[in-house]
Structure 1
Amino acid sequence: MAYKDLREFLRKLEEEGQLVRVKDEVMPEPHIGAAGRAAANLKNGPAVLFEKVAGYRNQVVTNVHGSWANHALMMGMPKDTPVKEQFHELNRRWDLYPVPAKHVSTGPCKEVKITKNINLFEILPLYRINTWDGGFFISKASVVSRDPEFPDDYNKQNVGTYRIQVKGKDRIGIQALAFHDIAIHLRKAEEMNKPLRVAIALGVDPIITFMASTPILYDQSEYDFAGALRGGEPVELVKAETANLDVPAGAEVVLEGEIIPRLRTCEGPFGEFPGSYSGVRAQCEIKIDTITHRENPIFENLYLGMPWSEIDYLMALNTSVPLYKQLKETFPEVQAVNAMYTHGIGAIISTKVRFGGFGKAVAMRLLSTPHGMPYSKVIIVVDEFVDPFNLEQVMWALTTRVKPDKDVSLIQNCPGMPLDPSSFPPGMHTKLIIDATTPVAPEPNPRTVELVKDPDQTAQWEEKIRQLLAGK
Structure 2
Amino acid sequence: MAYDDLRDWINALHKAGELKRITVEVDPNLEMAEIADRAAKMGKGTARAGGPALLFENVKGHPGTRVLMNQFGSERRMRLALETDSLDAIADRIRLLLKPETPTTLMDKLKMLPKLAEVGGFFPKVVAAKDAPCKQVILRGDEVDLNRVPILKTWPQDGGRFITLPCVITKDPHTGKRNVGMYRMQVYDGKTTGMHWQRQKVAAEHLRERLRAASADTAASVDLMALTAGGTTVAQSLESIPQATLGKIRDGRMEVAVAIGTDPATTFSAIVPAPPDVEEYLIAGFLRQKPLELVKAETVDLEVPANAEYILEGYVELGELRTEGPFGDHTGFYTMQDDYPVFHITCITHRKDPVYAATIVGKPPMEDAWMGKAVERIFLPLMQLTLPEIRDVNLPPEGVFHNLMIVSIKKSYAGHARKVMNGIWAMGQAMFTKCIVVVDEDCDVQDVAEVVLRVSNNIDPERDIQFTLGPVDSLDHASRLPNYGSKMGIDATRKWAAEGFTRPWPPMLTMDAAVKARVDTIWKKLGIE
> Do the aligned partners of residues 459 and 267 (structure 1) sit closer, same or farther apart at CA in structure 2, a change above 3 Å counting?
farther
1:267-326, CA deviations, whole angstroms, 9 ceiling, x for partnerless residues? 10000111111111111101100111110001111011111111222223315644x334
1:424-471, CA deviations, whole angstroms, 9 ceiling, x for partnerless residues? 2121111100111112351233123224446548699989999xxxxx
1:157 aligns with 2:178: yes
Distance 2:518 2:436 in 1: 35
2:287 to 225, 229, 248: 229
Matched AA of 1:233: K
> Do the aligned partners of residues 237 and 465 (structure 1) sit closer, same or farther apart at CA in structure 2, a change above 3 Å counting?
farther
1:44 aligns with 2:100: no
Q: Report if the CA contact (8 A) 2:494-2:505 is conserved.
A: no
1:112-153, CA deviations, whole angstroms, 9 ceiling, x for partnerless residues? 1111214434541123111110000001000000011233xx
Q: Report if the CA contact (8 A) 1:273-1:307 is conserved.
A: yes
| Other structure's SS at 1:431 match | strand
1:168 aligns with 2:174: no
Distance 1:17 1:465 in 2: 35
1:63 aligns with 2:84: no
| Other structure's SS at 1:28 match | coil
1:259-270 paired onto structure 2 within 5 Å: 259-270=316-327
1:130 aligns with 2:155: yes
1:383 positional shift: 1.0
| Other structure's SS at 1:29 match | coil
1:360-410, CA deviations, whole angstroms, 9 ceiling, x for partnerless residues? 11011000011112x201001111111212212211211222221211111
Q: Which runs of 5+ in 1 are unaligned?
A: 79-84, 467-472
1:208-257, CA deviations, whole angstroms, 9 ceiling, x for partnerless residues? 11110112222211111122222x22222222222332211211000000
Distance 1:461 1:428 in 2: 54
1:185 aligns with 2:241: no
1:85-116, CA deviations, whole angstroms, 9 ceiling, x for partnerless residues? 52x22312334585312322232111111112
Matched AA of 2:392: A
Match of 1:404 in 2: 461
Match of 1:469 in 2: none
1:109 aligns with 2:134: yes
Matched AA of 2:425: L
Match of 1:9 in 2: 9
Match of 1:298 in 2: 355
- Which structure shows the higher helix fraction? 2
1:168-317 paired onto structure 2 within 5 Å: 168-191=189-212, 192=214, 193=249, 194-230=252-288, 232-317=289-374
Distance 1:463 1:126 in 2: 58
| Other structure's SS at 1:264 match | strand
| Other structure's SS at 2:308 match | coil
Q: Report if the CA contact (8 A) 2:36-2:70 is conserved.
A: yes
Matched AA of 1:357: G
Report the TM-score when normalising by structure 1: 0.90
Matched AA of 2:160: G
Q: Give aligned-pair identity as a percent.
A: 31
Matched AA of 1:4: D
> Do the aligned partners of residues 159 and 319 (structure 1) sit closer, same or farther apart at CA in structure 2, a change above 3 Å counting?
farther
Matched AA of 2:428: P
| Other structure's SS at 1:430 match | strand
| Other structure's SS at 1:133 match | coil
Number of residues of Structure 1 aligned to a counterpart in Structure 2? 452
Distance 1:459 1:33 in 2: 49
> Do the aligned partners of residues 463 and 274 (structure 1) sit closer, same or farther apart at CA in structure 2, a change above 3 Å counting?
farther
> Do the aligned partners of residues 34 and 259 (structure 1) sit closer, same or farther apart at CA in structure 2, a change above 3 Å counting?
same
1:334 aligns with 2:355: no
Q: Report if the CA contact (8 A) 2:211-2:319 is conserved.
A: yes
Q: Report if the CA contact (8 A) 1:158-1:182 is conserved.
A: yes
> Do the aligned partners of residues 464 and 228 (structure 1) sit closer, same or farther apart at CA in structure 2, a change above 3 Å counting?
farther
Distance 1:172 1:118 in 2: 16
Which has the higher mean CA deviation after the structures are superposed, 308-317 or 117-126? Answer: 117-126
Distance 1:258 1:465 in 2: 67
Distance 1:103 1:297 in 2: 22
Matched AA of 1:170: K
Matched AA of 2:485: H
> Do the aligned partners of residues 238 and 463 (structure 1) sit closer, same or farther apart at CA in structure 2, a change above 3 Å counting?
farther
> Do the aligned partners of residues 244 and 262 (structure 1) sit closer, same or farther apart at CA in structure 2, a change above 3 Å counting?
same
Matched AA of 2:25: E
RMSD (CA atoms): 2.3
Matched AA of 1:168: D
> Do the aligned partners of residues 197 and 459 (structure 1) sit closer, same or farther apart at CA in structure 2, a change above 3 Å counting?
farther
1:94 aligns with 2:119: no
Matched AA of 1:255: L
1:120 aligns with 2:145: yes
> Do the aligned partners of residues 264 and 320 (structure 1) sit closer, same or farther apart at CA in structure 2, a change above 3 Å counting?
farther
Match of 2:496 in 1: 440
Matched AA of 1:182: A
| Other structure's SS at 1:316 match | helix
1:144 aligns with 2:165: no
